[in-house]
Amino acid sequence: MSRTRSALFAAALGAIAVLGLLIAPGASAADGLGLMGRVTDKDITYFCFAVIAFFPILITVLSLIQGRLEARKERRRYDLDRLS
């Protein structure tokens, strides 16, 4: 059964890859116009600044979450050791 599942997964992955290759040329916009229309240098600059700002913010938020989870884990360990 594991072989059947892996073969099915490989076939689905192959079908998705072929579908993506067939659809990709149609996704190109005519005359260089995408979803936003004509894009200026200002739009590109703001987008790049947003990307640059996103990663430090993401790292900070995830670090804060990890710190709280670690503190919670340590409290639990302390409580288990204290009560055991």
How far is C-alpha 3 from the chain's CA centre? 29
Q: Which residues, including other chains, have CB under 8 Å from residue 29's CB and lie 6 or more apart?
A: 35
Q: How many domains does the chain have?
A: 2
Pair 31, 2 in one domain: yes
∠ CA 44-46-61, nearest 5°, is 125
Q: In terms of Cα–Cα distance, which of 54, 56, 34, 37 is closest to 46?
A: 54
pTM of the model: 0.55
**Neighbour tally for 39: CB within 10 Å:** 13
Pair 64, 84 in one domain: yes
pLDDT of 37-46, one tens digit each?
788 899 999 9
Pair 50, 64 in one domain: yes
Pair 24, 56 in one domain: no
DSSP calls for 42-70:
HHHHHHHHHHHHHHHHHHHHHHHHHHHHH
Specify the pLDDT at position 78: 94
Pair 8, 47 in one domain: no
Range of the domain at 17: 1-36
